[in-house]
Amino acid sequence: MPAQFVRWFREIGLADVALVGGKNASLGELYRELTPVVIRVPNGFAITAEAYRHFLRAAGLEGEIRTALSGLDTRDLTGLADRGRRIRELILSRPLPDDLRREIADAYTELCREFGPNTDTAVRSSATAEDLPTASFAGQQESFLNVRGERELIEAVRQCIASLFTDRAISYRVDKGFDHLAVALSVGVQKMVRSDLGAAGVLFTLDTESGFPDVVLINSAYGLGESVVKGRVDPDEFLVFKPTLKTGSRPILKRAVGAKQEKLVYATRGRSTRAVPVSAEDRGRLSLTDDEVLTLAQWGCQIEDHYSTKAGRPTPMDIEWGKDGQTGELFILQARPETVHALARKAMREVYTLNECGPVLLKGRSVGEKIGAGPVRVVKDVDSLKQFKPGEVLVADMTDPDWEPTMKMAAAIVTNRGGRTCHAAIVSREIGVPCVVGTGNATGTLKDGQSVTVSCAEGEVGVVFAGRLNFTRKEVDLGSLPRPKTKVMVNAGNPDQAFALASLPCDGVGLAREEFIISSSIQVHPLALIHFDKVPDGPAKEKIAELTRNHTDRPSYFVEKLAEGVARIAAAFYPREVIVRLSDFKTNEYAGLLGGEPFEPKEENPMIGFRGASRYYDPRYKEGFLLECRAMKLVREGMGLTNLKLMVPFCRTVEEGKRVLAVMAEAGLKRGENGLEVYVMCEIPSNVILTEEFAEVFDGFSIGSNDLTQLTLGLDRDSEIVAHLFDERNAAVKKLIADVIRRARACGRKVGICGQAPSDYPEFARFLVECGIDSISLNPDTVLKTTQEIVDMERQLAGGKPRKEAVFA
């Protein structure tokens, strides 16, 4: 009922929000039991479902409609179209009953007295079976904008009624099992919000891709919201974290400028609306301010809370909104339950199994545990990426960070070179694409168009088979898995995947990498932003200027983008701990960032050069590190994500650790304040040898088995020549790891591992449990399998078997 609807919104604190410009919640649900045919509501009126039934009875259409739909097969698209057209023609051939026309005319006359002659209205249809928790029916019926005058209004109402029998609406009702004549239609008529002069869009009170429930997703574009709803434009996108928003923080996790190619505005003659191009200047900036984003997010939370209370269960919402360009006011236009993720099965995970074998073409190191199949596409350079099609198997000598968007479209990835810690391997794990690296000659063996199957489900060795082989994917109920006492964490780096990873049965993030965010999202060397005048003229400088065009000072671009990326990971796992490793690029990698070359020295061996902690206090980079600190402070204090902890990489000496902490404190990140913990990467033999001394400086240790193995065995982990010697299971490496676990725990410090070894070798995970490690951070694709190994080992140790000395051979 309209009065009840207004009262609901007043109860949840939205009395100051004018509910105009579209249907209020589900008008069908609100009015379907009412007998009046027209009811006045604030800023408009509602033509009820009873009016629709009255029209059908007066026109004698019920029997004809039932006959037209008799024997319908929705798989026969031609037949469906023919029946739908006939019914719509029947409806449009009959006038509205005189009493209904009079009531609509009287209601519109009253509206014009309030808002002026020929008041512009939105005429929105809403079916009685629409916006249900199990069936949204969204977009099935028509709506009309900028409708003026009695004649146009009556015609729009008739068109709304006829739209109950569009092909898509008929088919949808069949799919959902609804009786066509049991579904009725109401029509909402209300004064338009002048968002044609402002902006409009949609917000969801969850992440629409992963179903992650703790964010508000907002899409926004200039002009009337229909252009966003119907996908005519690429809108701006914002993400806001609900839990800390409700406690007064400003947790905007993402701001992404969309293309916003056109906007829908009022037409001057002949048509109600028209699309016009958006200027280049407006396209390049965001269509909402931060305050407006936060206001919409707060309203979304309030609406969701209200409907969740009424339903007695969490009820995520799909909400349309508009911003009046004349007054600057925001309005809620429509609210309905989200029905995709609300009904999805939770806590499920994929497991892949190869059901047959074929001729083996290549072998290499497997990355992940998935299987993919498709036609080969050999990519020799960046230009040939243009030929790549979704679903193909990307074959290359090695991959480049710039290829990441293409890699996400691949069925699988195969490279000639690289080890388990190379770019192709790391990115493939992050995006969940099966990958086989180090095959030797994939680009020479495989040919474009050749069908292959890439399997990483066979353990350490990845295999490329000829042909498309049969494989199965099954889902595992994560809720039924046992939880170990040892904390199981995940390694993360790509914020876009954080919400999906958060569903894994884990205790948080043991390693969140900044490097992916910096290279993919920021793209610019921090010192090039601080000292823009020192960047040589050319394409790089032009690109930096373009990326930072919406920022009054360029360094704030780095701070904002890094904070957003880290915050998305921290929010996904909140309140579980998320340990972010401060930047650990090598000098050659920093130089590869936009504008980076003038600020980086050239080193013969960057792997053991100017990297990690040594950069943070050095005058040559300290300014850049302070930008990182500003970003981390923003995440913890501005966004309220105090589950974020920090980790210092490649810290060679105790004194170096103290100097880094001093710089962090200078930036407002003081260890111990507001619960801030700072860890050190244990990846250099000196970190083990001086465990007790480092324990006095830091809150805990995270073992980096990749670098620790490299430096213990004295080899370059990127060298294929000595790759066969790189093995974290080497006795010397295991002895160091066992030693630091024992001594760190004796000092009362936490100790975990975030390196590759436990993800690759189940026996290594068992070794760590036996040593008494506090936490094990794994690649996401190995969490399920390795967790079981950890549980089994804990049970074995609890069964009375004495803890033996670690076996190092």
Report the alpha-carbon distance of residue 422 to residue 418 in Å, rounded.
Answer: 5
Are the C-beta atoms of 341 and 394 separated by less than 8 Å?
no
Residue 247 phi/psi, 5-degree rounding, is -105, 10
Instruction: Write down the residue that tokens 């209200």 correspond to.
Output: 306
Is residue 423 part of the annotated active site? The answer reads: yes
Six token digits for residue 525: 């060397």
Q: Rounded to 5 degrees, what angle do the CA atoms 192, 194, 200 make?
A: 100
Assign 194 to helix, strand or coil. coil
Six token digits for residue 348: 């499920």
Six token digits for residue 176: 């959902």
Are the C-beta atoms of 233 and 227 separated by less than 8 Å?
yes
Closest residue by Cα to residue 215 from 246, 236, 248: 246
Closest residue by Cα to residue 366 from 413, 304, 301: 413
DSSP-based helix, strand, coil % in the chain, nearest 5:
40, 20, 35
Report the alpha-carbon distance of residue 414 to residue 364 in Å, rounded.
Answer: 9
Residues in the chain: 809
Closest residue by Cα to residue 323 from 289, 371, 285: 289
Closest residue by Cα to residue 568 from 515, 523, 502, 625: 502
Are the C-beta atoms of 184 and 127 separated by less than 8 Å?
yes
Instruction: Write down the residue that tokens 């493939």 correspond to.
Output: 428
Catalytic entry in 160, 506, 682, 754: 754
Could you count the other beta carbons within 10 Å of the beta carbon of residue 602? 10
End-to-end CA distance of the chain: 76
Spell out the SS3 assignment of 701-750: EEECHHHHHHHHHCCCCCCCCCHHHCCCCCHHHHHHHHHHHHHHHHCCCE
Instruction: Write down the residue that tokens 């033996």 correspond to.
Output: 804
Instruction: Write down the residue that tokens 């066969």 correspond to.
Output: 724
Residue 766: CA count within 13 A, CB half-sphere:
15
Is residue 525 part of the annotated active site? The answer reads: no
Instruction: Determine the angle formed by the axes of helices 49-59 and 98-115, rounding to 10 degrees.
Output: 140
Catalytic entry in 423, 456, 682, 771: 423
Cβ-Cβ contacts under 8 Å for 609 (sequence gap 6 or more): 586, 587, 603
Amino acid at 333: L
Six token digits for residue 178: 């609804």
Could you count the other beta carbons within 10 Å of the beta carbon of residue 577? 20
Tell whether omega for the bond before 575 is within 30 degrees of 0, i.e. cis: yes
Closest residue by Cα to residue 365 from 464, 460, 466, 465: 460
Cβ-Cβ contacts under 8 Å for 689 (sequence gap 6 or more): none
453 by Cβ neighbours in 10 Å (0-12 / 13-18 / 19+) ranks as buried
Q: How far is the CA of 13 from the CAs of 8, 10, 315, 331, 670, in angstroms?
A: 9, 5, 18, 14, 39
Strand order in the sheet with 330-337: 252-256, 236-241, 215-222, 199-204, 317-323, 330-337
Amino acid at 48: T
Hey, which residues are catalytic here? Answer: 423, 754
